[in-house]
Structures are given as structure tokens and as C-alpha cells.
Amino acid sequence: MFAKTERATILLVDDVPANLSLLSSILREDYRVQLATSGAKALELVAASLPDLILLDVMMPEMDGYEVCRRLKANPDTCDIPVLFVTARNQTEDEELGLTLGAMDYIHKPISPPIIKARVRNHIALKLQTDALKRLSFIDGLTQVANRRRFDDTLDNELQRAVRQQHALSLLMLDVDYFKLFNDHYGHGLGDQCLAQVAQAMQAEINRPMDLIARYGGEEFVVLLPETDLEDARKVAESLRETVAAMQISHAHSLAAEHITISIGVACNSQSETNSAAELLKLADQALYLAKQSGRNQVKSWHNKNPIPRNV
């Protein structure tokens, strides 16, 4: 169950105000409650603030509950929100249709307050468990930043959004300089500790909720910066480079400095003629390669006017 300070949000959808009032009176003591009197309003509220669960009437004018559910389940952003139909329609085929569309439960009117409370409580608990498992599946166990799977999914989604809304999307590819030498001389235990510290320090520098830092593999990290052009992305990259250098993690065997440093390659979708994930990754990797070839502990960016990455 949610703590009182972080109660779950439930969206109640019914075109009859009296029904909304009754459901709200039953649930508002334990949950944050939102109300919608139409399918269109429900979709609007869901888009603005994702609820944890939806209680949805079937029989509504203009857009019935089945259509609302169909649209919710077709949207990747809302498909995992549990939907419980609450309706006077009690035919087997009606219930079958609702469940086929993806609803988690089908509650018949007239409603029983104890039954509503119990079913909502069970579905909220199940959603909490599912959300926790999903978060774990997207987190790198060592560094506690996003993992490769989360990054790949987010990159695909953000590229689609960038194309749809015609905005810039930038990508940083980072590598801890001479990390193999660090492991060889200090041991893998300290190496793991170093990676975790570097990752958390960079995570603290990423201020916007839409930005994402992920461990890409080994000592390599990526940072996704939606709605960010090349120039601003380079500023973020330089800030990250300075942050890691300022940690002063000793690395006596590095050829770049006496402490841990990072090299960063920067690319932006607006600098390329394509909007594929593979192409953006390739450009960032090329820029990172040049940063390494140029002595490391620096930022390089790829520019479409010159196929050779250029200095910051």
C-alpha cells in the first residue's frame, strides 16, 4: 500500500455525476482521486498526468468506455495503466469484450463499497510490484544509472518524438580514460567503485527529468539530451568532463592526467541527414574516437559540414 505521503492516483470516469460522487466518497480517503465525465476528458487527464489506476464506465455518449480502453492500450505511454470497468452491463459478451481489450477487471453495478475497495487495493498492490520489477530491469546493478536496455528503448522513443515534433536530439558517448590500466593496477574492486562514483557524479549533473544517463557497457556511458542542439549538448559534455576531473580519483597510470578523466563524443540528429538510432550512435562514437585519438580528457563533436569531428 502507498504511504499517506505518496498515495496512488485513481482516475474515475463516468458521465453520471452521482456515480462519480459515490466512487469518490469510497476511495478518496486512501487515494488521490481525479474525475472525468467523458472519454475525451479522461484521455486528456491521462496524457497530462499518468494515474496509477482507472475506474471506467462503459456506457458514455460520444466515446464509450471500450473505445477509451482501446486507445489507452494502443498507446505505449498508457498501455500499462490498469483499467477496471465499472458498469451496469452484465452480459457475458460485454465482460469478455472488456477483458479482451485489456481491462484488468470488470465490476458490476450497483457497486459494493467493500468490494470496490478490495479490488482497487489488490490491483494497486500488483501495479506497485510490477513497477518495482520494471525499474529494476532498467537499472544497471553496479552504477545504479539506467542500463543499456533502458537506453535503447528511450533512444527509439525520443527519436520518434524528435521527428514528430521537429526538435533536436543530442547524444553524448563517454569513456573513462585508460580504465583498463586502472583495473590492472588498482584491482577490479576499486575499478567497480570508481565506475559507480563516476556514474553517480554525472547523474547529479543531469538536471532535467527528460535527460537520461545510462551505462552502455564496461566503462562506457551514454547521455541522451532531448530538445538539445549541438552547441548546448557540448556545454553539457564539458560540464560532465569537468565534474569527473574535479573528483580527483587517483589514477597514477593514466596517460591523460594523474586522476580519472573521461573523453566524450557529441552528436545531434540535426547534424545528420538521417534520424536512425544506429546513425546517431555511429556519429557519437566517431566523435568519441577522435577525442581519444587527440589525447583524451576532452570533448569532440561531429558536424555535418565536415565529416571529421571537430574540437569543442
What is the model's pTM? Answer: 0.65
What is the CATH architecture assignment of 148-311? 2-Layer Sandwich (3.30)
pLDDT in tens, 113-133: 999 999 999 999 999 898 888
Let me know: does 8 contact 14? Beta carbons within 8 Å.
no
The residues near 247 (Cβ < 8 Å, ≥ 6 apart) are 197, 198, 201, 259, 260
Residue 243 C-alpha cell reads as 565534474
The fourth-level CATH superfamily of domain 4-137 is: Response regulator (3.40.50.2300)
Catalytic residue, candidates 219, 242, 258, 273: 219
Let me know: does 216 contact 148? Beta carbons within 8 Å.
yes
Let me know: does 57 contact 14? Beta carbons within 8 Å.
yes
pLDDT in tens, 16-60: 999 999 999 999 999 999 999 999 999 999 999 899 999 999 999
Residue 144 C-alpha cell reads as 545504479
Spans of all domains in the chain? 4-137, 148-311
Mean of pLDDT values over 281-285: 95
Q: Does 231 qualify as catalytic in the annotation?
A: no
